[in-house]
C-alpha cells in the first residue's frame, strides 16, 4: 500500500512538473506569437530575416531578464543564508562560553566540597585519637570502663599493635 501511495505522490509531483512546463511553453508560445506577426507581414526574405532577428533578440532579452531575476533571488537567498549562518555561529560561541563558565564554576564547587571533606576527615581522625587517648587515661587512672568501651578500647589497642 505504501508503494502505491509513493507512486501516487510521484505521479502527482510529475503531473505538477508537467503542468509547470506546459504553462511555460504556453507563455513562450504567446510571446513568440506576439513577436512573430512582423514575420508573416514581411514582403520579402530580408524583411523576414530582420523580423526573425528582432524576435530572437527580444527572446534573448526576455531570457536574460529572467536569468537576472533568478540571479538576484539567488544572491538575496545566499546573503540571508550567510547572515543566518553568522548569527548561528555567534550564538554557538556564546553558548560555548556559557557552558565553559558553568563548567568552571562546577569544578570550583566540586574542589571546594572535596577540600571540606578532606578537612572533616582529618578532624574526625584527630577527634577519634583524642577520644582514644582520653579513654586510655581514664582506664589507666580508674581501671574501670563500661563493657562496650572496654571492648572498643581493646580492639583499638590490638589494631594499633598490629599496624
Q: Tell me the per-residue pLDDT of 65-101, one tens digit each, with 9 for 90 and over.
A: 888 999 999 999 999 999 999 999 999 999 999 999 9
Place of cell 563493657: 147
Give tens-digit pLDDT for 136-159: 787 777 777 777 777 877 887 787
pTM for this one?
0.42
Amino acid at each position: 500500500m505504501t508503494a502505491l501511495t509513493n507512486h501516487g505522490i510521484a505521479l502527482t509531483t510529475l503531473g505538477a512538473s508537467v503542468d509547470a512546463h506546459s504553462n511555460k511553453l504556453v507563455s513562450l508560445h504567446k510571446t513568440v506569437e506576439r513577436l512573430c506577426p512582423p514575420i508573416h507581414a514581411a514582403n520579402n526574405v530580408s524583411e523576414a530575416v530582420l523580423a526573425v532577428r528582432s524576435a530572437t533578440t527580444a527572446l534573448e532579452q526576455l531570457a536574460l531578464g529572467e536569468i537576472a531575476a533568478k540571479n538576484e533571488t539567488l544572491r538575496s537567498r545566499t546573503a540571508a543564508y550567510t547572515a543566518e549562518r553568522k548569527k548561528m555561529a555567534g550564538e554557538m560561541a556564546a553558548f560555548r562560553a556559557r557552558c565553559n563558565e558553568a563548567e568552571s564554576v562546577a569544578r570550583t564547587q566540586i574542589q571546594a566540597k572535596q577540600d571540606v571533606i578532606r578537612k572533616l576527615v582529618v578532624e574526625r581522625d584527630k577527634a577519634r585519637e583524642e577520644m582514644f587517648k582520653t579513654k586510655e587515661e581514664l582506664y589507666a587512672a580508674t581501671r574501670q570502663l563500661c563493657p562496650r568501651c572496654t571492648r572498643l578500647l581493646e580492639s583499638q589497642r590490638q589494631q594499633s599493635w598490629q599496624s
